[in-house]
Structure 1
Amino acid sequence: MTRYRTYGDAGQAFPIYITVVAGLLFLAFAYFAVGQAAVNRNGAQTAADAAALAAAQETRDELAGRWVEDILDPQKWQDIFAGEVLGLEPPCWRAYELAAQNDASVRGCDQDGLRLTVTVQANKSAGDSVIPATSTRRAHASATAVIESLCTFDPPGEDAEEDVLPRLNCEDGDDWELDPEDLTDLPGPEDLFDVHLAND
């Protein structure tokens, strides 16, 4: 009689054991799916960050080029350093390039002065899993890059000499004495402007 009850108890425990194991496996697959989704989101954020920075750097380079073109007209410098320049080429093509390199597609690219915001969508979903939504949903992410002037100068007064250019005082500690007769050594775009991701 005792042996019969022992076997009976074991028989009753087996379905419980199977249920527990199945539950644990389901949880493991669910955690794996969540991990896949997190990796997908991180990849989309990386693509958005790279795209926004690339677009901002394109604008930075154009502003630096415009400064070189107008270097002999210091009255225009302030507008250039503030990004208030007409005729700049839209920089979003760089965002498209960088997003594609990171396996994502640009869904929005907006410029507001010296701020560029890019929104991307991952080209791939997190893949098939026990969570149905992850098999079709694609991660989205956005990033904003900011361009900031690194240099200041004293605008020339009305009585300023025409053959003297203002000295640039830049945050890296370099002061640029500009000789209108010898403009071979000029600060580069990275000396004039900083490009970084916005914290907000």
Structure 2
Amino acid sequence: MIRLSRRDAGQAFPIYVVMVAGLLFLVFAFFAVGKASALRNGAQGAADAAALAAARQARDDFEAGFLASLPEDMLDSYLRVHPVTGCTAADGLASANHAEVKYCLPIPGGYEDRIRVKVEGDKPVDSSVLPGSERTFATAKATAVIKFRCSWTSVDLNDDSIRDIFFFTCGKDFLEISPGSPPPWSKVSRILYDVHLVDN
């Protein structure tokens, strides 16, 4: 049997302390990395939700201009040049997902508009092993597209240069809109426009 002398045991003790301290540091470092990753994923979810909310609000805001363009057959002009809004909706969705909108940028593009959003999470990484992490917050970006997805024709029933009926073909969906008595926008806008996320 091999026995350590009291002197050998005393020399080994600092090594054990260093090893334990190193292991503890690694544990805290892995924890910090995991927390940072979780916060980053949360920020990305908030950015996605904010961008989609802004795009859906923008689609809702198209109603007045879209319907006003129909009777005089100005729809093509409207689709090519129209205002894009919607950023107020981004704030609420970001806040609900524990983040703050740093910027929300509508990008008009005619038949395909975009809204780009950047958010910052409201919780810091705050790790004792990462200097400055108490002031480090996760950020993320997302871009949503509002795309007009239909082809159309119109009919002037009275030969007065005013279009009375518009027929829209949107993939497998068919839609008829009479400018004089349009259907509720909430029902037709989801057929006319596709809203989805794209890579930044």
TM-score by length of 1: 0.81
* 1:85 has 2:100 as partner: no
Flag structure 1 segments of 5+ consecutive residues without an equivalent.
none
For residue 30 of structure 1, what is the amino acid of its counterpart?
Answer: A
For residue 74 of structure 2, what is the amino acid of its counterpart?
Answer: K
The equivalent residue for 1:20 is 19
| Residue-pair matches, total | 193
The equivalent residue for 1:94 is 89
Q: Give the distance between the partners of 1:29 and 1:190, measured in 2 at CA.
A: 48
Deviations 1:36-78 (A, max 9, x none): 11111112111111111111111111124432344333x2222
For residue 117 of structure 2, what is the amino acid of its counterpart?
Answer: V
For residue 108 of structure 1, what is the amino acid of its counterpart?
Answer: Y
For residue 85 of structure 1, what is the amino acid of its counterpart?
Answer: H
Greater percentage in strand: 2
Secondary structure in structure 1 of the residue aligned to 2:65: helix
- CA gap 1:9/1:125 in 2 versus in 1, 3 angstroms: same
Q: Give the distance between the partners of 2:58 and 2:64, measured in 1 at CA.
A: 10
The equivalent residue for 2:50 is 51
- CA gap 1:160/1:38 in 2 versus in 1, 3 angstroms: farther
The equivalent residue for 1:192 is 192
- 8 Å contact 2:51–2:90 — kept in the other structure? yes
Map residues 1-200 of structure 1 onto 2, 5 A cutoff: 5=4, 7-73=6-72, 75-82=73-80, 84-86=81-83, 90-113=85-108, 114-154=113-153, 162=162, 164-171=164-171, 173-179=172-178, 183-184=182-183, 188-200=188-200
- 8 Å contact 1:64–1:192 — kept in the other structure? no
TM-score by length of 2: 0.81
- 8 Å contact 1:147–1:195 — kept in the other structure? yes
- CA gap 1:141/1:184 in 2 versus in 1, 3 angstroms: closer
Name the % identity: 38
- CA gap 1:135/1:178 in 2 versus in 1, 3 angstroms: closer
- CA gap 1:169/1:61 in 2 versus in 1, 3 angstroms: same
Q: Give the distance between the partners of 1:181 and 1:156, measured in 2 at CA.
A: 13
- CA gap 1:65/1:182 in 2 versus in 1, 3 angstroms: closer
- 8 Å contact 2:147–2:195 — kept in the other structure? yes
Flag structure 2 segments of 5+ consecutive residues without an equivalent.
none
- 8 Å contact 1:63–1:81 — kept in the other structure? no
- Tell me the C-alpha RMSD between the 2 structures: 2.9
Secondary structure in structure 1 of the residue aligned to 2:38: helix
